[in-house]
Structure 1
Amino acid sequence: MDPRYSAQEHLLCDLCQKAALQSHCELCQINLCKACVGEHLSDSSKRHNVVPYRHRTSTPNYPKCPNHTQKHCELYCEKCDIPVCSNCLSSGKHKGHDLLDALQKLSSKTKDLENDLEELEEKIYPKYKEMTLGHSFYIFRDVPFERSFKLFLFLFCHHPMDILAEKIRKPKDKITLALDLNSEKVNLEKHYKKLTTAVTKQGEDWHRDINIIVNKQKSEIDEMKSEHLAALNKQEKEIKQITSDVKQSIVDLKKILDSNDVSLTSAYKPRNAQFRRLPPRANTSLPSFHPHQINRAMLHQMFGSLSALSITTEEQGYKMEEPKAISTPKVKPILDEPELITTIDTMYDKLCSVTCLNDGEIWTFGNDEFLKLYNLHGKILKSIQTKSGNRPWDIAVTRSGDLVYIDQDTRTVNIVKNEQIQEVIRLQGWIPYYVCSTSSDDLLVTMTSTDYKKSKVVRYSGSTRKQTIQFDSEGTPLYLSCSYITENRNLDICVADYGASAVVVVNQAGTLRFRYTATPSTTKGSFIPYGITTDSQSQILTADCHNNCIHILDQNGQLLRYINNCDLQDPMGLCVDTRDNLFVTEFNSGKVKKIKYM
């Protein structure tokens, strides 16, 4: 087919699909050949306006009404979020609703679509393409300049990527190039081969009586290698999948914009906010082998050990700019009557914290030394005993799905990885109380001094202390007796201060934003907050144990509503899942209640 005429050959009659089109009915939005015009005009049940195809106007493609097949939807009901026809209005179903001309709605939605398309094409998609080029390597000072420069030119020509280094000015300059994940996999093979060689040599020195130890450590290397490789493959697969989704979104948006179809436009749901959040990057600490001098009296201890493979994730070193707001995002309304979805009976007589592993599984604990994972039917999926045998004090789940718990008796914060418990933080002079995992995978820990006179919040990255929040700008203590803690979507840090009968909220830098204290007129008894959590709307929910209710605040501390039905008794721990369903532990009944409130 001659490409000069391919477009014309595809313009066929919509009725017969055989002959070339010549005319267009502007009222029915249909293209017709000369032979089919008469057949189309013979339908006297509709009005027609047939014009030559090249003289057609850009009449919008109004959708047919699903309830009144002879009508087109030329209006749009804002409250019902659907196109409507004149008969729909006559029925009275949309009485009092805000109505827009469909063209007006199409115009506003089209602008949103165009902005989403622009961001996907010019910002998000290029950033994901850049990410697929991955990590870095170095040409060090001891490499001759001429050889370094040739290698630089070769790689730059074969890898269209950004140069992450200073200009090459001297033979000793360091050059850093962004390489893809495949390069790291190649280096991975070399590193693990060196490990295997080192272990094998050590094994030969010890002869056949230690072959069992050699084989054991080779097996450990293979397992770590597989785990390492799997982590890289997983990251590469995730980035490629999201990149594919971005490309598909671009195609879908272009299709909607080209169609001029109100139905497609109104049904569009943007995913740009999801794509702006770049996936975490694997941060690997390669294991190494440390041989020891042979001491046959201590074979197992002296042979040598492999350091553990450490694969963590970290946020990218850059952030994508949020686009300027062009329309008010749709807000989820709070239900007038929250609905009790399900009740999980843990059989504990004292039940404390709760945290979601996912939308179908929750971690909780009671008055013994076990941490238990339940599904929504009340079945115990896992039961993990604390390392010390003490009762845990609080729990949280990290972004990677690992469980974190507080042990007050040992003054430690511990993490459970693959059902193995590791101590992360050990305090001196302070007692840890409650913990939460942040969006950046840090840990926020509330703690009190051993004399119970001071309280503070400390941010940790792993075991490294990054931030301490204790005083306001005038040097006055922010907290009296900290309890539960959470991070809001706007990165505010929200603490239930039961000693001060207040919810204390500071921003990411630790500056006080507000205190919420319920007035006596709004509560039957004294307000003492315990559990606290936040949802997708940055609303703050706190458990009022003495008044058997949940206070819902907006992100600025204004009371929006109470949850005081659902037969709540002694609410304590709170968490929400990804769909904004609320989970509440009842301290004395040992039950967890799932509540729909939005």
Structure 2
Amino acid sequence: MATSSDEQAAGQHYLVCGIQACQENGQFYCNDCHQPMCEQCKDEHRKSPDTKNHDIVLYRQRKHRLPVNKCKKHPTKIVDIFCKECQTPLCLKCFLTEEHKGHEFDDLEEIYAEKYALWQGEFSKIQKYFLPTSEGLKTDIKRDVKEIKKIMENIRKSMKAEAESLKNLVDEVTAEKIEHTHSMEKSLLQMLKSQETTYNDFITYLGKMSDEFQEYLSTTNKKLLSSEILKIQSIPETAKPVPPVFTAGEFNRDDVAKLLCRLNVPNTEPEKRKIQPMEAVSTPMKFTEKQLKQRREKSDMKQMLSLSSSVTKVREYSVPDVDNAYHVSVDKSGRPWVSDDDGNLVQTDLHGNPLQEIQTTGDTKGYHTATQDGGLIYTDQDKKVIYRITPDRRITEFIKTGDWEPLSVHSSRINGDILVGMRKDEEAKVTRYNKAGKETQNIQRDNQGQELYDWPHYITENINGDICTSDHGKEAVVVVNKSGQHRFSYTGQGSVFRPFGICTDVLGHILVCDILSNTVHLLDPDGGFLSVILSPQQGIEYPRCVCVWMMKTISMWDNSAPTQ
């Protein structure tokens, strides 16, 4: 059963057949009788002469019953006819009056169904596009908040580091200048010391001269009679020191600011956030007759495709060197790659003749996927590496997954992205890589922080971008939207569900193998159970993998690979 992320406990509503006392699953609906039917009652309904022409569709494609409105002119009659010319709803009595004679009429129930489908489509757009896309943009904004905070913190660290560097330079230059003052002071003091020595020597000289004069001046000194005259040396001349003059540096706050970094917002136009375009455009509320006819034709075609829940075996062949086929990938020319639990990976032509064979470490998982260019990608769980095989058969190392073991892989048919189911210790996740091998997204927990995955061993992508994972540990098909938001988990129709291979078709249906009940389940894009398309009654035993290519379903089990 399918459970949404906010209605896990409520479970899935089980539709009961409305025919008498039948209590089987009412997966079909009669638009004429307005009641659900099981498959057996549907077949009996079509065999009955009275109801063989009734319009029977899948329950989810039913026409909703027209609301009961009484005619204002004829209160006992119900309004169920629409006059195209007067654009007025009528009852049967109004329809038979002269006023509307010759006018064209339409079934009001058909118009109501069209309007209901339109509003339901708009509601679906809100749920499947506008809300997830808006949530994705909110996630982008939260990511930008973290990035901005990180950038600004780095800028602040750079500013502090630059200021510290400038302070260090100022301290270094100041230290050099102070050291220079010490040198200048030493030189000036040495000069003054030399001058002091000069005068000390001259004073000593004067002392000697004074003694000599005293000796000459003695009356008994005969030297006075000498013709020699004592001469005194001139006082030595010295110069005053010229001290340095301090001149303050000329700078202000602006000068300092110029020396440091500048913080400017680039003069560029902000890049607009990318909004994923909606695949289905809105249709106008009013339809012309031609538009209504086209819509009915498209609806009939869709129902015809959707109702092909019974399949017919077309061809069956065995793949050489492959035992117990566990996974199949089909390239763009329709040639399958098939793998078993011994690591044998073989490509055959459409007749089962082998074309290529590779020995891998893969086992019971969906570990390979065909690419848009005709190549193949496969994982090596032991080496934690994803390899790529080019169309000319060259094998190259593509992605390294670090500590995570790559279990399953899928190449997107929408944009070529690579989706990988991974596991490490007791954790599991789905990682998205672009075509160049760059990691762009990790999906691991839901909005409540609960682990989404346990053992994602098969993985695929739906046409609406949903990522559908067959999880052996969770015993469920876990589906998230392209933004990674949990949409629902399908847990089968019985007490135990053991999902294996999984794929989707062009209408967005999900096909998944259940190896316990030996069946292949068909789900609608919202996880609603539609039917069992392959079962033991059709010779199915232990279905392990399934693949849809060009509206053909390829299922594999045991030693054979029948095409259906």
Q: Which has the higher contact order (CA 8 A, sep 6+)?
A: 2
TM-score (norm 2): 0.46
Structure richer in strand, relative to its length = 1
Structure whose alpha-carbon radius of gyration is higher = 2
TM-score (norm 1): 0.44
